[in-house]
Amino acid sequence: MLFGIFFAFWRFMEIITLIPTLGMLAYFVHIYASNNALTPNYILVLFIVSVLAAAWALCTLFTYHRSKSNSLFVAFIDLCFIGALIAGVYELRGISHQNCTHVTAGDSYQISFGYLGSATVNGLHFSANKQCSMLKACFAFGIMNCIFFAFTSALAFFHQGGRRDDRRDTTYVRETHVSRHGHRRSGSHRSHRSSHSGRRHAYV
Protein backbone atom coordinates (compact mmCIF):
# COMPACT_ATOMS: atom_id res chain seq x y z
CA MET A 1 0.00 0.00 0.00
CA LEU A 2 2.75 2.46 0.93
CA PHE A 3 4.71 1.46 -2.17
CA GLY A 4 1.74 2.37 -4.36
CA ILE A 5 1.28 5.77 -2.72
CA PHE A 6 4.93 6.82 -2.92
CA PHE A 7 5.39 5.36 -6.40
CA ALA A 8 2.32 7.16 -7.78
CA PHE A 9 3.37 10.43 -6.13
CA TRP A 10 6.86 10.48 -7.67
CA ARG A 11 5.49 9.33 -11.03
CA PHE A 12 3.06 12.26 -10.92
CA MET A 13 5.92 14.64 -10.12
CA GLU A 14 7.85 13.29 -13.09
CA ILE A 15 4.91 13.80 -15.43
CA ILE A 16 4.15 17.39 -14.38
CA THR A 17 7.80 18.37 -14.87
CA LEU A 18 8.46 16.41 -18.07
CA ILE A 19 5.43 17.71 -19.99
CA PRO A 20 6.50 21.40 -19.73
CA THR A 21 10.06 20.36 -20.60
CA LEU A 22 9.13 18.59 -23.82
CA GLY A 23 6.68 21.37 -24.67
CA MET A 24 9.33 24.12 -24.41
CA LEU A 25 11.92 22.05 -26.25
CA ALA A 26 9.38 21.26 -28.98
CA TYR A 27 9.10 25.03 -29.49
CA PHE A 28 12.81 25.22 -30.33
CA VAL A 29 12.69 22.11 -32.51
CA HIS A 30 9.83 23.67 -34.47
CA ILE A 31 11.81 26.88 -35.01
CA TYR A 32 14.83 25.05 -36.38
CA ALA A 33 12.69 22.69 -38.50
CA SER A 34 10.70 25.57 -40.03
CA ASN A 35 13.97 27.26 -41.04
CA ASN A 36 15.36 24.02 -42.53
CA ALA A 37 18.16 23.98 -39.98
CA LEU A 38 19.52 21.16 -37.86
CA THR A 39 18.46 21.21 -34.24
CA PRO A 40 21.47 21.50 -31.91
CA ASN A 41 22.37 18.49 -29.80
CA TYR A 42 21.87 20.37 -26.52
CA ILE A 43 18.18 20.75 -27.42
CA LEU A 44 17.58 17.53 -29.35
CA VAL A 45 19.03 15.09 -26.79
CA LEU A 46 17.01 16.37 -23.85
CA PHE A 47 13.89 16.65 -26.04
CA ILE A 48 14.03 12.98 -27.11
CA VAL A 49 14.78 11.80 -23.58
CA SER A 50 11.94 13.86 -22.09
CA VAL A 51 9.43 12.50 -24.63
CA LEU A 52 10.41 8.88 -23.92
CA ALA A 53 10.52 9.45 -20.16
CA ALA A 54 7.09 11.09 -20.12
CA ALA A 55 5.59 8.21 -22.12
CA TRP A 56 7.20 5.65 -19.77
CA ALA A 57 5.98 7.49 -16.67
CA LEU A 58 2.42 7.66 -18.01
CA CYS A 59 2.38 3.96 -18.97
CA THR A 60 3.71 2.75 -15.62
CA LEU A 61 1.33 5.05 -13.73
CA PHE A 62 -1.86 3.94 -15.49
CA THR A 63 -0.80 0.27 -15.66
CA TYR A 64 0.25 0.22 -12.03
CA HIS A 65 -0.83 -3.38 -11.34
CA ARG A 66 1.32 -4.74 -14.17
CA SER A 67 4.34 -2.62 -13.25
CA LYS A 68 3.92 -3.77 -9.65
CA SER A 69 4.44 -7.39 -10.68
CA ASN A 70 7.52 -6.43 -12.78
CA SER A 71 9.19 -4.17 -10.25
CA LEU A 72 12.73 -5.21 -11.12
CA PHE A 73 12.20 -4.37 -14.80
CA VAL A 74 10.69 -0.98 -13.89
CA ALA A 75 13.67 -0.24 -11.63
CA PHE A 76 16.10 -1.07 -14.46
CA ILE A 77 14.33 1.15 -17.02
CA ASP A 78 14.16 4.03 -14.54
CA LEU A 79 17.89 3.62 -13.96
CA CYS A 80 18.47 3.86 -17.71
CA PHE A 81 16.43 7.07 -17.84
CA ILE A 82 18.59 8.54 -15.08
CA GLY A 83 21.64 8.08 -17.28
CA ALA A 84 19.85 9.50 -20.33
CA LEU A 85 18.65 12.55 -18.39
CA ILE A 86 22.14 13.16 -17.05
CA ALA A 87 23.41 13.10 -20.65
CA GLY A 88 20.72 15.58 -21.73
CA VAL A 89 21.45 17.92 -18.83
CA TYR A 90 25.17 17.70 -19.54
CA GLU A 91 24.59 18.76 -23.16
CA LEU A 92 22.56 21.76 -21.94
CA ARG A 93 25.02 22.73 -19.20
CA GLY A 94 26.12 25.92 -21.01
CA ILE A 95 22.83 27.66 -20.25
CA SER A 96 23.47 27.54 -16.50
CA HIS A 97 26.05 30.36 -16.77
CA GLN A 98 23.80 32.66 -18.81
CA ASN A 99 22.02 35.64 -17.27
CA CYS A 100 18.51 35.60 -18.72
CA THR A 101 17.16 38.66 -16.89
CA HIS A 102 18.25 42.29 -16.86
CA VAL A 103 17.24 44.90 -14.31
CA THR A 104 18.11 48.50 -15.14
CA ALA A 105 17.25 51.84 -13.62
CA GLY A 106 14.28 53.47 -15.29
CA ASP A 107 12.71 56.89 -15.15
CA SER A 108 12.27 58.47 -11.71
CA TYR A 109 8.83 59.51 -10.56
CA GLN A 110 7.55 61.57 -7.65
CA ILE A 111 5.03 60.45 -5.03
CA SER A 112 3.09 63.12 -3.12
CA PHE A 113 2.00 62.57 0.49
CA GLY A 114 -0.09 65.72 0.78
CA TYR A 115 0.82 67.90 3.76
CA LEU A 116 3.61 65.46 4.70
CA GLY A 117 5.58 66.25 1.58
CA SER A 118 6.70 64.22 -1.41
CA ALA A 119 9.32 61.63 -2.32
CA THR A 120 11.19 60.80 -5.49
CA VAL A 121 11.44 57.12 -6.39
CA ASN A 122 13.76 55.69 -9.01
CA GLY A 123 11.94 53.28 -11.29
CA LEU A 124 13.29 49.88 -12.32
CA HIS A 125 13.05 48.33 -15.76
CA PHE A 126 12.89 44.54 -15.85
CA SER A 127 13.51 42.58 -19.05
CA ALA A 128 13.92 38.86 -19.66
CA ASN A 129 15.13 36.83 -22.59
CA LYS A 130 12.35 34.36 -23.39
CA GLN A 131 14.47 31.71 -25.13
CA CYS A 132 17.16 31.83 -22.46
CA SER A 133 14.60 31.51 -19.65
CA MET A 134 12.92 28.53 -21.33
CA LEU A 135 16.20 26.69 -21.79
CA LYS A 136 17.21 27.36 -18.19
CA ALA A 137 13.84 26.03 -16.99
CA CYS A 138 14.36 22.86 -19.06
CA PHE A 139 17.82 22.50 -17.53
CA ALA A 140 16.34 22.75 -14.00
CA PHE A 141 13.52 20.29 -14.80
CA GLY A 142 16.07 17.84 -16.18
CA ILE A 143 18.03 17.87 -12.93
CA MET A 144 14.82 17.43 -10.93
CA ASN A 145 13.80 14.42 -13.00
CA CYS A 146 17.17 12.77 -12.40
CA ILE A 147 16.31 12.84 -8.70
CA PHE A 148 12.68 11.76 -9.24
CA PHE A 149 13.63 8.75 -11.36
CA ALA A 150 16.23 7.77 -8.77
CA PHE A 151 13.45 7.66 -6.16
CA THR A 152 11.11 5.55 -8.30
CA SER A 153 13.93 3.18 -9.28
CA ALA A 154 14.86 2.63 -5.63
CA LEU A 155 11.21 2.12 -4.65
CA ALA A 156 10.67 -0.47 -7.38
CA PHE A 157 13.91 -2.30 -6.53
CA PHE A 158 13.17 -2.56 -2.79
CA HIS A 159 9.58 -3.56 -3.51
CA GLN A 160 10.82 -6.49 -5.60
CA GLY A 161 13.04 -7.60 -2.70
CA GLY A 162 10.11 -7.43 -0.29
CA ARG A 163 7.95 -9.53 -2.60
CA ARG A 164 10.66 -12.23 -2.73
CA ASP A 165 10.82 -12.38 1.07
CA ASP A 166 7.03 -12.76 1.22
CA ARG A 167 7.17 -15.64 -1.27
CA ARG A 168 9.83 -17.40 0.79
CA ASP A 169 7.78 -17.02 3.95
CA THR A 170 4.64 -18.43 2.33
CA THR A 171 6.61 -21.34 0.85
CA TYR A 172 8.09 -22.17 4.25
CA VAL A 173 4.67 -22.11 5.90
CA ARG A 174 3.19 -24.40 3.26
CA GLU A 175 6.03 -26.89 3.55
CA THR A 176 5.79 -27.08 7.34
CA HIS A 177 2.03 -27.44 7.10
CA VAL A 178 2.30 -30.32 4.67
CA SER A 179 5.02 -32.02 6.68
CA ARG A 180 2.88 -31.94 9.82
CA HIS A 181 0.00 -33.52 7.99
CA GLY A 182 2.37 -36.15 6.67
CA HIS A 183 3.52 -37.00 10.21
CA ARG A 184 -0.07 -37.22 11.39
CA ARG A 185 -1.03 -39.51 8.56
CA SER A 186 1.99 -41.77 9.07
CA GLY A 187 1.30 -41.89 12.82
CA SER A 188 -2.34 -42.80 12.22
CA HIS A 189 -1.31 -45.57 9.83
CA ARG A 190 1.17 -46.93 12.37
CA SER A 191 -1.39 -46.91 15.21
CA HIS A 192 -3.93 -48.57 12.94
CA ARG A 193 -1.49 -51.33 12.04
CA SER A 194 -0.45 -51.88 15.65
CA SER A 195 -4.10 -52.18 16.70
CA HIS A 196 -4.72 -54.77 14.01
CA SER A 197 -1.65 -56.76 15.01
CA GLY A 198 -2.70 -56.64 18.68
CA ARG A 199 -6.12 -57.97 17.87
CA ARG A 200 -4.66 -60.90 15.95
CA HIS A 201 -2.37 -61.89 18.81
CA ALA A 202 -5.22 -61.66 21.34
CA TYR A 203 -7.48 -63.87 19.19
CA VAL A 204 -4.85 -66.57 18.93
Q: What is the DSSP letter of 39?
A: P
- The confidence score (pLDDT) of residue 118 equals 58
So what's the pLDDT on residue 104? 65
pLDDT score recorded for residue 157: 87
Using CA atoms, how far apart are residues 156 and 179, in angstroms rounded to an integer? 35
CA distance linking residue 120 with residue 113, whole number of Å? 11
The count of other CB atoms within 10 Å of the CB of residue 69 is 10
Q: What is the pLDDT of residue 4?
A: 76
Q: According to the model, what pLDDT value does residue 165 have?
A: 46
Confidence (pLDDT) at 134: 93
Per-residue confidence (pLDDT) for residue 170, from 0 to 100: 44
pLDDT score, position 111: 59
For residue 130, the model assigns a pLDDT of: 86
Close Cβ partners of 96 (under 8 Å, ≥ 6 residues apart): 136, 139
Tens digit of pLDDT per residue, the chain (204 long)? 677 788 889 999 999 999 999 999 999 999 999 999 999 999 999 999 999 999 999 999 888 776 667 888 999 999 999 999 999 999 999 998 888 876 666 555 555 555 555 555 555 555 678 889 999 999 999 999 999 999 999 998 887 654 544 444 444 444 444 444 444 444 544 444 444 444 444 443
Count of Cβ atoms closer than 10 Å to residue 32 Cβ: 14
Whole-number pLDDT of residue 196: 46
